[in-house]
Amino acid sequence: MSGTKAGGLKAAVTNRKLHGEDFYRRIGRKGGCVSTPTGGFASMDRNKVRECGRKGGTISRRGKAKPKVSTYKGFSW
């Protein structure tokens, strides 16, 4: 049931049983405290952030690799 609402609810029950009732509260607190004092990636130069996003977008949209054409004694198929 991975990836379904029912599976998520079962995982939440298991996490609370194994790690305590305040499991998600502790995770949320850690996430809020970990931010850097300088603001992290979002506070960088706007053009630099834009360039990083462009590079990531072009890489993820390349598509699947095309199979190489095999040649055997002058014949290609």
Is 0.95 topped by the overall pTM?
A: no
Eight-class DSSP state of 1: -
Q: pLDDT at position 34, please?
A: 62
Tell me the pLDDT tens digit for each residue of 5-50.
999 999 999 999 999 999 998 888 876 666 666 666 666 788 888 8
Q: pLDDT at position 15, please?
A: 93
Tell me the pLDDT tens digit for each residue of 39-63.
666 667 888 888 888 887 777 666 6
CA distances from 31 to 24, 38, 56 (A): 11, 16, 24
**b/e map of 53-64 (b: 16 or more CB within 10 Å)?**
eeeeeeeeeeee
